[in-house]
Structures are given as C-alpha cells and as structure tokens.
Amino acid sequence: MPRGPSWSKLCKQNRAILMSCTCPAAAGGAVPPPAGIPCAEAGRMRFRASPLLRALPAALLAAWLLPACPSQAQQAAPAQAAVPVTAATVTRRDVPAYIRGIGTVQAFQSVQVRARVDGTLMQVAVKEGQDVSRGDLIAVIDPRPYRAALDAALAKKQQDEAQIANAQADLSRYAALARQNYASRQQVDTQQAMVKQLTAQIAGDAAAEEAAHLNLSYCFVTAPVQGRIGLRQIDAGNMVHATDTAPIITIAQIRPIAVVFALPQDDLPRTAAAMEKGELPVTAFASDGTAVLDQGTLLTPDNTIDSGTGTVRMKAVFPNPHSRLWPGQFVNVRLQIGTDRNALAVPDQAVQHGPDGLYVYTIQPDGTVARRTVEVARTEDGMAVISSGLEAGQTVVTDGQSRLQAGMRATTVAGG
C-alpha cells in the first residue's frame, strides 16, 4: 500500500487512539492530537475513529497499526554523509602499444676455440673472465715441429728451383742444336717435358710451404671474435689434437648481446607492419617484471613459424654496456609496436567489472556519483585506454568504489 502524507497523518492519529491522552479533545471518541500539537489545535483537526476501529480489541488494533506506521525517527532520518574516495581526471595522452613475451639471452657470437694442429699446449695466454679483442693471443701449441716442417718445405722448393733452372738451360741448348741438325727432335721434346715436370714440382713446393706456414700459425691460437673468455677447459701441458671435441676455451660476445623470445603468430602481421616504419624498441626486464636491464631494438623475426606452438621467434639486440644481460638468462621482454596518439586514458583501477560489463564511477559537479558504462581498448602500464563512455576532464573514482552507489555523495580525499 502506498504511504503518502495522508497515510503518515492517519498513522499518527491511530497511534493516539492506543495511547492515553489527557487532552479534552480525546473525549467522546475523538482522536487526540498527535504529540507536539496543542490541544487547542485539536478542534480544527478533530477526527472520529471509525466504528470498525472502536470495535476491534486494543491488542489486535495495536498489532495491525503499529508495525505498518513509520516511526518519527524513521521520518526524521538525517542526510547520508559523503563517502571519502580517491579520484583521478580523465586525460588525453600518448599511450604506447606493447607486446610482451619471455625471452632467453644469447651471446651475439659464441666461439669454441679448439686446437687445429696436434701438439703440446705450451701456454694459455688469457685469464678466465678476461675481455679480449679479435686477434688477441689465446694459447700457444708447441711450434717447433711445424717450424721444422716449414724449413723442409722451403729447402725442397729451393732444390726444385735449381733443377728447373738447369733443365731450362739444357732445353735452350738442345733447341739450338736441333736447329743445326746436331740434336734430334726427340731430345728437345724430352727436355721440354722435364722443364714442365719441374715447374709442377715447384708449384707443389709452394703449396707445401704455404701449408707449413699455416700449420705453424695454428700453433698460435688467436681470438676470432671480440668477447669474454669463459672457464678454461684444458690446462697448459696437456696434449691437444685437431680431432678433440673439447675446446681449449670459449669466447662469448656479450657487447652487444641478443635476446630471443617467442610471440604468438597472430602478432606477426602487425609487428611486420610496424617494422616497415622503422626500428622497434625492445625493453628487457628482470624476472620481477619491473627492473629494467637494458633497452635495444628488434633485429628480425625468424623465417618460419613453429607449427607445434603457433609462435614465431624474434631476435632483439641490446648494447649491454653494464653487462646486466648474460647468456642463458631468462628475461621479460616488452616490444613496442606503436603509440596511440591523444588517447583517452584513466588509471586502470578506476575500471570495475559488473554483470553488464565494465563501468566507472564519475563524480559530478554537485558532488554526487554516477555510474557510467565504458569500453576499454587495452590496458598498458597501469593506464586503461578508453574507447567510449568517458570524456576528457571528467573525474573518475579510483578507490572506494565498494562503498558507492549511483546518486550517493562523495568527497575526494586524494588525487590519482
């Protein structure tokens, strides 16, 4: 039953029926005036209780009337206090677009330095953990056998050069005699073949000399790349062979260094489109996802997609000036593929999830809150990009939403 002003007045009058009243206006069945109204006023508000009410027992009448009538305390309830909340302003800003993944740090170049000739390892010329440049001496293998082989090759070449000089002189003499018919044509041909044979021998001697030079150079092992020396695998004094599988030492180039990470294949088209516009920045984070280790650029995606996982491998290069990235390390990777210019953004904690979708509470100029349905394009670094539902300059609640309902008053205690 609706409870308007008339119902409230009637309840007050009927309560007065059940209560004792010394006011003369209550005599003869008249309803006494409500509390707070002088009896002098009762003449102007005289009411008669209906016969039905007079016939009802007092207890039954009280049970029917009292629960249905609002109390004076209820009618005089104080205004609700404003709810303290924190708030932030809807702004327009440039919001970067990121793709995230997990990657593994790899040396930009990694070399296992092995012996290329057999011999005794005479010296390891570097220390473990030392930074070396290309061409620096790494180790020395006993060069004496190879120096002797070089000397033998040089001697053999000189011998053959002397023989070919004599053969060429004989060829000249036989050719002159043949023109005077003092020598046969056969002798001239035989001598020409001898010259050619010795010429080939000299060519072989030159190759042997070069091989001896090469083997001798292999005795002095140098760094093929710039990098950092790893732990030594073989100590000086050991016999090494060209067929050994264990390296003498390893070199890893860590400045610059590479990070390989996988992305879903669906991200490849927009990544490729962004690469056509320029270099894409990549940030490497520690395992906690907050500490920045280094910033680099995307080098290239792999040339195939892994059909088993539906991912494509990406390779990024980092300068690594402070050696915070180390081969084999797992890192969190953030690839920036673009930036949304002048986008509407709010702190992501302002966006709430409801049964009908996402919404935010906005604070109106009069201090009341309104609930607005919004659409979020994406969330990046604690900011939600709003595609619809808000306008720049509006104030949104970022904390305290659990105590709010639409229409309630709110007061801001901190800015977001």
pLDDT in tens, 53-72: 454 455 444 554 545 445 55
> Considering the chain, what percentage of its residues have pLDDT values greater than 70?
80
State the pLDDT confidence band at 78, using cuts at 50, 70 and 90: low
Look at 61 and 219; give whichever has higher pLDDT.
219
pLDDT at 23 over 60: no
Summarize the confidence of residues 185-195 as an average pLDDT.
90
Summarize the confidence of residues 163-182 as an average pLDDT.
89
Summarize the confidence of residues 339-367 as an average pLDDT.
94
The pLDDT of residue 302 is 96
- CA distances to 266, 340, 346 from 380, rounded to whole Å, are 19, 11, 11
Q: For the chain, what is the mean pLDDT? A: 85
In the chain, CATH 2.40.420.20 covers 85-94+342-415
Q: Which residue has the tokens 């050619």?
A: 196
Listed as own residue / partner, the contacts of 153-161 with beta carbons closer than 8 Å and 24 or more positions apart are 153/205, 153/208, 153/209, 153/211, 153/212, 154/209, 154/212, 156/205, 156/208, 157/202, 157/205, 157/206, 157/208, 157/209, 160/198, 160/201, 160/202, 160/205, 161/202, 161/205
d(CA 369, CA 401): 10
Top-tier CATH class for 85-94+342-415: mainly beta
pLDDT at 45 over 60: no
The pLDDT of residue 146 is 97
pLDDT at 21 over 50: no
The pLDDT of residue 182 is 82
The pLDDT of residue 130 is 96
Question: Do the Cβ atoms of 262 and 316 come closer than 8 Å?
Answer: no
The pLDDT of residue 2 is 46
The pLDDT of residue 13 is 53
Look at 13 and 82; give whichever has higher pLDDT.
82
Question: Do the Cβ atoms of 281 and 222 come closer than 8 Å?
Answer: no
State the pLDDT confidence band at 184, using cuts at 50, 70 and 90: confident
The pLDDT of residue 140 is 97
pLDDT in tens, 98-107: 999 999 999 9
pLDDT at 19 over 60: no
pLDDT at 28 over 60: no
Render the burial of 192-229: b for 16+ CB within 10 Å, e for the rest.
eebbeebeebbeebeebbeebbebbebbebbbebbbbb
State the pLDDT confidence band at 122, using cuts at 50, 70 and 90: very high
pLDDT in tens, 224-266: 999 999 999 999 999 999 999 999 999 999 999 999 999 999 9
pLDDT at 87 over 50: yes
Q: Lowest mean pLDDT: which of 130-144, 179-193, 391-405?
A: 179-193
